[in-house]
Amino acid sequence: MIEERIDNLEIKIAYMEDFINQIQEVAVQQAKDIELLKTENKILSQRLKDVMENAGADIPNRKPPHY
């Protein structure tokens, strides 16, 4: 009886360890993805700023035609 309970607990622990490892892999991948997105966002923000500065005088400040 006790051996069966111990076996069941060991099985549960093994599943939990596997699950924790899977979660850790996902968390690491998400951290990498977030860093990549931050870098891309910074690059795009800088490009947008550059475009706005260069084209600021060329774009008139008026309402779109549908107004």
Confidence of residue 57 (pLDDT cuts 50, 70, 90): low
pLDDT tens digits along 8-54: 999 999 999 999 999 999 999 999 999 999 999 999 999 999 888 88
Judge if pTM exceeds 0.85: no
CA proximity to 46, closest of 38, 35, 57:
38
